[in-house]
Chain A
Amino acid sequence: MVAAADDIALDVQDLHKDFGGIKAVDGCHFRIPRGKISGLIGPNGSGKTTTFNLLTGVTPPDRGKVIFKGEDIAGLKPYQIFRRGITRTFQITRIYREMTVFENLLSVTYLKIPMHKARARAEELMEFVTLTKLRDEYGGYLSYGQQKLLEFARALMTDPDLILLDEPAAGINRTLLASLLERIHELQRMGKTILIVEHDMNVIMNHCEKIFVMDYGVNIAEGAPAEIQNNERVIEAYFGHKKDANTGSQKR
């Protein structure tokens, strides 16, 4: 199915990253659809973390393009990528510990709005993640789940178009996760595009409209959850070849 350019939020083309002999990412292509929640999965060592780092500017790619709003953002620094409208969260929260919740939100830059509007927006977001009561508490004193919510809110300060979430389910209980996912869906209804990198299959299968699967540095499949669940290559990647082990070399 050919999607019109308009429908694509992020176009990743032929990304390569080599770490001195180990090809972490070896020709990765995918196109993230606009306005939907997508997922990126793959077994350990598949290159999805590296890909995530390439997209967020933490590591520069050796080759390849990442087109966002008509511009190739591959190789830009994190703060530059941020300023173009892509925000991210971290797998293990990186909120500012000795600053209050309110300050954590206000620290976000490139808002291009005066202080009182920034304040109002911060208040709004604190409401959105129900952290208003903790407004003047140090980030470091919040529970882990609250920190996750704070980081999530922080990623929304600039009203970004594309939000990349790095293992949002990691380390939090199911109740909090459900509430986080609810907010993610709300964002999607507002027209935002979201990409989730995850290990938790429940989250991915039940909440993503489109899933990209990686293994050995390349995409091996993409599609809706039902298709992915039945895809042989995906099953192989996670569980190994189904034929018995006596056949010698396994096709991987």
Chain B
Amino acid sequence: MKSHETVRDLTYLGGLCLFLLVLPDQVNVYYRSFVMFTMMYVVLALSWNIISGYTGYISFGHVLFYGVGSYASAILVADYGWNWLPTLIISGGVAVIVAIVLGFPVLRLKGPYFAIAMLGAAESFRILATVWDSVTHGGEGISLPNVENSFATYYAMMVLMVATILVSYWIGHSRFGVRLNAIREDEVAAAANGINTTFYKLSALVLSGIFAAMAGGIQANKTLYIDPDTEFFILITITMKLMAMLGGKGTVIGPIIGAVILYSIQEIVWVQLPQAHLIAFGIFLILVARFMPRGIVGFFIDRGWARKGMVH
């Protein structure tokens, strides 16, 4: 990565941060929430991108990390009286454990089978959350103590988003990332060229899990109520996927663009037609998968408006 490019990109990021820092004071609660959730989806899309875009192991069940993170935080705050910020670290920690334990068996499966295995895993977590009511309060859900958190959660999410962007950026421009891509392109060749695929795959899953889980933790403290069906909702995985794919999976900017565009559209459409938007998502997924598999960034690259490859 040529250093002047890095400086340029960091400047953009800095500018964005400045804008976001000032924003909450200027606007009302609704817009604060909107921006916060947009940032959350940026985090989620980027985190999905790490395991599915870079490493090529397309996960249909990423929401499980999000749900696990939100439950970890909620349980600690509601039942054990923790202050919400430290719970995020636990959320991350739980995600690491889940990623390793789940990853070991599941990352051995090839493409579509991995996808389905993750889908089933997410469903299993949802059922577990419903059934294990001694810990998770089951179907009733968990209500968190009502604290005015609008500003605090906004800033927390902003910090998380910046962290996720920085890590994604680093991965995308480092040899670590190039190796993840190698695994995606041809795992046999990657192994033959010295890459310890098990280690790299697990690392990718762990990294992607941590960010998703923390996002879930912050969200729980914002909406102040969680239950198994909302936290492990399959739509969240679809949304993450669609955002990353729309923008261009396997790139840094792609998921960010995708998240911003899609979330904005969703907010506008959803307000008008609540039922239709899920149907629209399904159809949209079909269209993107069929006609634009490389996303917006891919489109730019194919036209020669952006450079091929990430490391130069």
Contacts and interface: CB of A to CB of B under 8 A. Distances in A.
A138 B194 CA distance: 22
Given A77-B191, A78-B192, A137 B308 contact: yes
B197 A79 contact: yes
B298 to A, nearest CB: 10
B108 interface: no
Interface string B12-54: 0000000000000000000000000000000000000000000
B91 to A, nearest CB: 32
B188 A99 contact: no
A206 B91 CA distance: 65
Contact of A83 (B194, B250, B310): B194
B122 interface: no
Interface stretch (B113-121, B173-181, B233-241, B277-285): B173-181
A98 B186 CA distance: 10
A139 B194 CA distance: 19
Question: Could you say which of B182, B188, B250 has the most chain A C-beta atoms within 10 Å of its C-beta?
Answer: B182
Given A107-B175, A118-B175, A100 B189 contact: no
Interface in B166-216: 175, 178-179, 181-182, 185-186, 188-197
Contacts, number: 85
Q: How large is the interface on B (under 10, 10 to 19, 20 to 34, 35 or more residues)?
A: 20 to 34
A82 interface: yes
B309 interface: yes
Interface in A78-109: 78-79, 82-83, 87-88, 90, 94-100, 102-103, 106-109
Contact of A102 (B189, B191, B193, B309): B309
A107 B182 contact: yes
Q: Which of A82, A98, A138, A155 has the most CB of B within 10 A?
A: A98
Given A97-B185, A136-B308, A138-B308, A103 B178 contact: yes
A118 B179 CA distance: 14
B270 to A, nearest CB: 34
Nearest to B310: A103
Interface residues of A, number: 32
Contact of B193 (A87, A103, A136, A137): A87
Contacts of B181: 96, 98-99, 103, 107
Contacts of A88: 192
A154 B182 CA distance: 12
A98 B193 contact: no
Interface string B292-312: 000000000000000111111
Interface in A192-239: none
B307 A136 contact: yes
Nearest to B188: A94
Interface in B224-279: 250
A110 B194 contact: yes
Contacts of A118: 175
Contacts of B189: 90, 94-96
Nearest to A93: B189
B194 A94 contact: no
Nearest to B175: A106
Given A96-B182, A99-B178, A118-B175, A79 B312 contact: no
Interface of A: 56, 77-79, 82-83, 87-88, 90, 94-100, 102-103, 106-110, 115, 118, 136-139, 154-155, 158
Given A56-B192, A99-B309, A155-B193, 8 more contacts: A79-B197, A82-B194, A83-B194, A94-B192, A96-B186, A96-B189, A110-B194, A138-B309
22 contacts: A78-B192, A79-B192, A79-B193, A79-B194, A82-B194, A94-B186, A94-B188, A94-B192, A96-B185, A97-B186, A98-B250, A99-B178, A99-B185, A102-B312, A103-B311, A106-B175, A107-B179, A110-B194, A118-B175, A136-B307, A138-B309, A139-B185
